[in-house]
Amino acid sequence: MRVTMIGGGYVGLVSGACFAEFGMEVTIVEADERKLGALREGRIPIFEPGLDRLVSENVAAGRLSFTGDMDEGLADAEVVFIAVGTPTRRGDGHADLTYVYQAAQQVARKLKNYAVIVTKSTVPVGTGRRVAEIVRETRPDLDFDVASNPEFLREGNAIGDFMRPDRVVIGVESDRAADILRSLYRPLFLIETPIIVTSIETAELTKYAANSFLAMKVTFINEVADLCERVGADVHDVARGMGLDGRIGRKFLHPGPGFGGSCFPKDTLAMARIGQDAGAPQRLVETVVTVNDARKSTMARRVILACGGSVRGKRIAVWGLTFKPETDDMRDAPSIPIVSRLVEDGAELHVFDPEGMEQARPHLPPQVIYTTDPIEAATGADALVIVTEWNLFRAVAPARLKALMRGSVIVDLRNIFDPAAIRAAGFAYHAIGRALPPVEEAARRGAA
């Protein structure tokens, strides 16, 4: 089957490479000449484990190609995916659909035969209908169907999520389109992946509802973590006690400094706006947005209190900048407000991230010092802050860390260290959702 992917960004590139691995003939159309040049040279412009190998193997096999020419990209296409960006629109929180509608118009002009035009991007309810209108207005003679096929890819595990998904959601209006898209996903029949066929509106809303619910789980456990600190409980034990209930599940019950990334922040905001516009306000989602924004802003205050109420003139090491491990994505990363506030309050910041250093530079103050590894960042530091839970940070022994640092304060916003071991090494250890020893708790209350 001939598949065309409009957009070679995260969703388009991962999806295109995976469809090629399924045996489809895939062409990715990318308008950005710099990104297109990199892809043609075999350089992957994003970090995603395993993606470089998957792309190179399918290019070599002749199943995956890249072009900037829409005519070439759409030649004999049977399925055309629109996988362009839908960022938050400035001023009102809605998803900006400019690129989606532009792509729909361009596809309509260039298609020569019947094809299913599929929105792969995350789009609000009603977008598919508008795409169909644009195509009809542009090419009244064109035979086509419009469908919605939202992606459910986690950064850092996107290939596994695509190749072994929990489900595939397909929103269509015709049996013809449904049959074509079922055929596209036929390799998943062998592992009995549920294929859910719905209306276009249902498929569009399902993506927002799923991400909003997961964001609520994250926000809920973060608030429970705050409560645990106050009452002397351990949030990890609470989360385990909750998560073993099959109705709740264990995933996304990990406390931290707040969610970020390319999906949750913009999708919860868009879900809230969709509800407001439809006259069905999504109050829980609105609260999640507010609570999460506030949480990221207050994390720097935790560091300041742990340092005795002031960080002026102090050297602070920060481990991890990306919003999560196994990605180089800095979008809405908690590190941005944390680092910015600490620099504003007079601290000297030495930071390290395995993949996100260059991506972080435009987002962080120019005074930040970038180091080559976690050891260099921690050497001579008065305090260490862990913002992203990369595995290599766990490998640093507490005794070695104590010998490297000038001070003894660790603020672990991801709870990667064992509290007993790190305190036995002589550190004043501050975690998320774990009760402080009585002496430290009294000091914290006094500083607050």
Active-site amino acid positions: 263
Q: Which of 25, 36, 183, 11 is nearest to 99 (CA)?
A: 11
Residues listed for the chain: 448
Inter-residue contact 184 to 3 (CB < 8 Å):
yes
- Alpha-carbon gap, residue 316 to 382, rounded angstroms: 6
Using CB atoms within 10 Å of the CB of residue 340, give its burial: 0 to 12 exposed, 13 to 18 middle, 19+ buried.
middle
Pairwise CA distance, residues 163 & 146, whole Å? 24
